[in-house]
Amino acid sequence: MKKNYLLLALLGIGLFHSARSESSIMQDDSSKVKIKRPIYAGVGIGNNISRFRDYATSPLFYSGTAKTISVFVDRPSDKKDMFIQARYSAGKYKVKGLDFEDAKMISELKSVSLRYTMLWKINPISNEKLNVKVGGTFDAWGDLRTNLALQNNALGSEVFATFFLSAKASHQIVITETKKIWFLKFNPRYRNTFFQLNIPVMNNTFRNGYIYTSTGGLDGKPKPNPFKGYEFSAFSGFRLSTNLMYEQQVFNNNILRFTYDWDLLLTGKKYDQFQMANHLFLVSLVLKLK
């Protein structure tokens, strides 16, 4: 009888050890399985309220609003974020203090920008309420300006290619049940907000020299080179940008996103420096692809 009890005890210990081993193996396998990040694609429209000055032609400030369209791909997750965006803006700018209808100093500005961002979560300073990520951003921005009142200086263009150190703090608000605060009713849905700071590490510019008056037709060349006299400068100038965003789920796991982007651009030389500040407001519809 005692032998039977002993045999049952040994069999029980063996089964327990086997189950525990299988459980630990399953946990190890599950930890190795990568969680697939969702893929979102979005399109946004808005206005870019900006101001610029080009010392190479005039110390006057030009102010205006450019219509903007944006397309992007977003792959967010708790551990890692990836963001790719392309933007196009176009608008008319005038010298402050002059009547728009009568002013001859009107500049038409078109700009294109491409951005790529990759961020990783910093666990020691993140918690359930605040997710902090750090990484890098590459942003290439270029413009084309035309101002017929400047005659031979009617055409101007700049290119900024900048590598940023980026830090992002995000806060999610996930409401799982209907809540009421005074007369406001909040239905169950996902909400998220974040702020991102982009500090320049390496700023590069492609910009005209001090004298860039067009000599087309005067030097015997019927087809002048529009970029003659332009110079590429590495580690030149300064650029700083921030991004503020609020988004909420609307239907079928799709998202409505509101963003405000601020961008400051300065070229390196002082005597012919180009200066610009952008205040971009966008409303975007973000569709979940998978």
Q: Which of 69, 266, 47 is nearest to 160 (CA)?
A: 266
Strand-pair partners of 180: 185
Nearest-angstrom CA–CA distance, 202 and 139: 11
pTM greater than the 0.75 cutoff: yes
Q: Say which residue the tokens 């409505």 belong to.
A: 256
Yes or no: say if 203 and 237 are a contact pair by the CB < 8 Å rule.
Answer: yes
**Domain definitions of the chain by residue range:** 1-32, 39-288
Q: Domain spanning 39-288: which CATH class is it, in words?
A: mainly beta
Strand 184-186 versus strand 230-233 pairing type: unpaired
Angle at CA of residue 179, ends 174 and 181, nearest 5°: 120
The pLDDT value given to residue 79: 92
Burial 9-44 (b: 16+ CB within 10 A, else e): eeeeeeeeeeeeeeeeeeeeeeeeeeeebeebebeb
**Residue range 163-176: mean pLDDT, rounded:** 87
Nearest-angstrom CA–CA distance, 274 and 265: 8
Nearest-angstrom CA–CA distance, 256 and 160: 30
Instruction: Tell me the pLDDT band of 156, cut-offs 50, 70 and 90.
Output: confident
The pLDDT value given to residue 172: 83
The per-residue pLDDT for range 24-37, each reduced to its tens digit, is 444 544 444 456 77
* Segment holding 239, helix H or strand E: strand 238-249
Please provide the average confidence, as pLDDT, over all residues in the chain: 81
Please enumerate in sequence order all residues whose Cβ is within 8 A of that of 128, keeping only pairs 6 or more positions apart, or say none: none
The per-residue pLDDT for range 56-72, each reduced to its tens digit, is 777 889 999 999 999 99
- Phi and psi of 38, rounded to 5°? -70, 155
Yes or no: say if 154 and 148 are a contact pair by the CB < 8 Å rule.
Answer: yes
The pLDDT value given to residue 34: 59
The per-residue pLDDT for range 237-253, each reduced to its tens digit, is 999 999 999 998 888 77
Q: Which of 71, 93, 95, 92 is nearest to 83 (CA)?
A: 71
The per-residue pLDDT for range 80-103, each reduced to its tens digit, is 999 999 999 999 998 876 554 545
**Residue range 173-200: mean pLDDT, rounded:** 74
Q: Could you give the residue ranges of the DSSP H alpha helices within the chain? A: 2-32
